Structure 1
């Protein structure tokens, strides 16, 4: 029995993403893209929220039920926790944060995305990061960290460290830091002390690179 031909979705996604010169164009390209099977079962595309020229960008994993319903990332319980965490160090999506996910459509039942689904989405999130070009990139959870940093290390080994994220279209790598995903912290509140330590480290780095933070820490 012959194998099916390899999917052209990753190459198609790369061409569409690379052709976008603005976030609005990238959003439109994503809406037109039919190469990810998750789009067939999701209610809508969940692209981004926040300020497009923000100095801080947060990237998570994938939309959940609430995000799929509302069309914005991080609006459920984990998103509310994320907002409180960011607010504690003077950051928010209304003034200085841009938020997105690696995956733009909710996986059925919140299952992990397949390798094919990831490959179809990665060109778009990499292009989004390139277009925003934040002073600091926050990667929420191990999935986002491993996908964008191209590393196999677990989140506990990566969290709170000063890292870099290099992408082909960037002349210089971006400053990046990994944090525990808010959904994980809701399941394991005893690890919030680790998250607080990471927030302190991120706030200090933000000050060093000249990011204006509001009231908070």
Structure 2
């Protein structure tokens, strides 16, 4: 391939990657120019010839080819998700249920399930919103740039992934890193609630506004919530002290606010120490 063409192809691929398009839509390439030429020839063959000088007859637009439609999630899927989540008696059972669950469209566009990372027996659990590109590729939450920052924040309070448990509300990456829809969130909510219940952490930290609103069942923004202890109540009625804080991805864009997250992490460290003393 000539260097000029190779450079143009590379630039085009970089453009698509920056826009969030990192997966092919089909297994084989399509020659759209040849398809267009074929449609033109087919139209000329099937349409009646017109006499010279006659007014042009209106052209009937060709019908667009039918595209395969994904399963559209319904409210019934949220009820089904609640029932399936309740049936999980262990973390491994919950993972297997999610692997087989087909009630959320995000499963069909993601490369794989991103269930959790760290130690499910740890006394502290962190919950974000949804996986990104890096997480979708590796199958673990918080492994990209925001994950590296989270690791440093954990180290600052004497923790690492062996002494913390990390998960997301949404276990599949939304295409192009878009925001999950309200219905997608409701379908996934029972699974993260059951995951928290099975882990049984002493302290819960919600990372960012979306996860904080879902876990705490509130409409308040993260700047109003952060820094103040809240309570997450599990389906069985257990109350877990919860500290909402800023998402690491937000901190990468707004480094001046790292001091706020640092205070929140210190609050979680102090609360864990107090709870350990009570035990």
TM-score by length of 2: 0.72
Tell me which residue corresponds to 1:151.
218
Residue 65 (structure 1) aligned to one of 133, 137, 143: 133
Matched, 1:33 2:109: no
Distance, in Å, in 2 between the alignment partners of 1:34 and 1:27 is 13
Matched, 1:203 2:248: no
Describe how 1:57-206 pairs up with structure 2 within 5 A.
Answer: 57-94=125-162, 96-170=163-237, 172-206=238-272
Residue 85 (structure 2) aligned to one of 13, 17, 20: 17
Q: Which has the higher contact order (CA 8 A, sep 6+)?
A: 1
Distance, in Å, in 1 between the alignment partners of 2:146 and 2:160 is 15
TM-score by length of 1: 0.92
Q: Which runs of 4+ in 1 moved over 3 A?
A: 4-7
User: Does the 8 Å CA contact 1:44/1:68 hold for their aligned counterparts?
Assistant: yes
Unaligned runs of 5+ in 2: 1-71
RMSD over aligned Cα atoms: 1.4
How many angstroms does 1:7 deviate by?
Answer: 3.2
How many angstroms does 1:116 deviate by?
Answer: 1.2
How many angstroms does 1:169 deviate by?
Answer: 1.5
How many angstroms does 1:115 deviate by?
Answer: 1.0
Unaligned runs of 5+ in 1: 212-217
Distance, in Å, in 2 between the alignment partners of 1:57 and 1:193 is 21
User: Does the 8 Å CA contact 1:148/1:165 hold for their aligned counterparts?
Assistant: yes
Tell me which residue corresponds to 2:57.
none
Distance, in Å, in 2 between the alignment partners of 1:197 and 1:16 is 38
SS of equivalent residue, structure 2 residue 276: coil
SS of equivalent residue, structure 2 residue 125: strand
- The structure having more radius of gyration, on CA atoms, is 2
SS of equivalent residue, structure 1 residue 198: helix
Distance, in Å, in 1 between the alignment partners of 2:236 and 2:150 is 29
How many angstroms does 1:5 deviate by?
Answer: 9.7
User: Does the 8 Å CA contact 2:117/2:141 hold for their aligned counterparts?
Assistant: yes
How many angstroms does 1:6 deviate by?
Answer: 4.3
